Amino acid sequence: MNAWLRSLAVYTDPRIIAILFLGFSSGLPLSLVYGTLSAWLAEAGVSMTMIGLFSWASTAYGFKWLWSPLVDRLPIPVLTGLLGQRRAWMIVAQALTALCMIGLGSSDPAHNLLATAGWAVALAFASATQDIVIDAYRVESLKQKELGAGAGNIVLGYRLGMIVSGGGALVLAELFGWFTAYAAMAALMGIGVITVLLSREPARPDVEETSLSADPLGWIRSAVVAPLADFAQRPHWVAILLFIALYKYGDALIGVMANPFYLAIGFTKAEIGLVSKSYGVIMTIAGGLIGGVVVARLGIMRALLICGILQAASNLVFVVQAMVGANLSVFIVTMSVENLAGGMGTAAFVAYLSSLCNVAYTATQYALVSSFMAFTRTIFASGGGWLADQVDWTTYFLISTAAALPGLALLLWMMRAFPTGQTAGMAPGRA
């Protein structure tokens, strides 16, 4: 027990605390492009069809790997010399994000929907750029044993940012109007700016720099091709990508059909919002922090296995929920188990993805593996609706539990296939 308590001390490290505040800065913009903006559009009388189409504004998050090499290697005049590559890009991305928040808040969707759409796209692009550089900064700042705590704090900060820009922005909009709500969120981006200014630039290995203007092809080779080639040189890299796709497959099948299930068995929207979206977020945060401690205590691969087993088993509580129906007490237990285990699994998984990155190409490689994870989860989960139409809910959740097993089996194989003491897939040279 004392060893586990000592593992909690990792959360008192100033670098881990800084990641918490950077996670908050990273989580602020998302709701302003998704839920909060949808509420504003509905109030302005925009059609449901058009509101749905606005989700395309967020495609920047899924394609951030396209410009991540620029973040990795392209210096920003003056600022890079003063602050370093990562801190300079964070300051610029945060400033652009705040500017786009103000621009979006000053638009009028009732009279100029195109301008609102343009600012929403710009905000998503600036926010995705901030995510690229914050992830790179987090990976480069931490040692292997600290990656779990970093993952726990990035999840905590991100969720808090989403809560503030979700519910908090709606309250401000009700009291003072939409511009004030968005301007207040822009002001809160200052938390990230202050954190960057108080933090240190992480050490990075020397890499051969090629000028983009002087030798475009050489720059593309070093900034784009080299990170991919580096990843492909690792033993069993195809298996690693397959594992990334499968680890949270069962979790994805739950997520895609959770709200339709709650409504189908008789819960009200208010009950769903209170228990699933509010209490559930708290349990996810707790799970993320616990997952960080498990990684620090047991190492990444063992933590992935333990958290993965709990994550898969948590799907079975939905079987019980389907059997008892709209029982609120059971619903609270279901949300406790599912979100706690899911948060633990996410923290371990983010730590693993971080360990895959060679610090010479952190931004590019992390953007690639995280985008691949998000894309494959979306593709795999897209069949959940069809499956739910074919079977009853009890069978659906049993199948979702079974869907987690291939990823766990592949994880066990990876743990045995790699040499003793070598973390499966870890980038060489991580301390």
Q: What is the pLDDT of residues 246-305, one digit of tens each?
A: 999 998 888 878 878 888 899 887 788 788 877 888 898 899 889 988 988 888 999 999
Burial class (CB in 10 A: 0-12, 13-18, 19+), 89: buried
Per-residue model confidence (pLDDT) at position 372: 78
Q: Are 144 and 100 in contact (CB under 8 A)?
A: no
Nearest to 285 by CA among 133, 189, 151: 151
Q: How far is CA 266 from the centre of its chain?
A: 31
Give Cβ neighbours of residue 305 (< 8 Å, ≥ 6 apart): 408, 411, 412, 415
Q: How many CA atoms lie within 13 A of 202 on its CB side?
A: 23
User: In 3-state terms, the chain is what percent helix, strand and coil (to 5)?
Assistant: 80, 0, 20
Tokens (6 digits) for 418: 């790699």
Q: Are 155 and 286 in contact (CB under 8 A)?
A: no
Tokens (6 digits) for 362: 């952190």
Q: Are 376 and 245 in contact (CB under 8 A)?
A: yes
- Give the C-alpha separation, 306 to 292, whole Å: 13
- Give the C-alpha separation, 37 to 14, whole Å: 34
Please report the beta strands in 315-395, taking only residues with DSSP state E, as ranges in sequence order: none
Per-residue model confidence (pLDDT) at position 258: 83
What separation in angstroms does the CA of 69 have from each of 12, 61, 133, 257, 413? 32, 15, 11, 36, 32
Nearest to 136 by CA among 415, 358, 378, 408: 358
Nearest to 22 by CA among 143, 136, 176: 136
316: number of Cβ within 10 Å: 15
Tens digits of residue pLDDT in 104-148: 999 999 999 999 999 999 999 999 999 999 999 998 998 878 888
Tokens (6 digits) for 326: 């709209």
Burial class (CB in 10 A: 0-12, 13-18, 19+), 209: exposed
Regions of the chain where pLDDT drops below 50: 421, 431
Tokens (6 digits) for 190: 């200052």
Nearest to 400 by CA among 390, 410, 387: 387
Burial class (CB in 10 A: 0-12, 13-18, 19+), 297: middle
Q: Are 343 and 284 in contact (CB under 8 A)?
A: yes
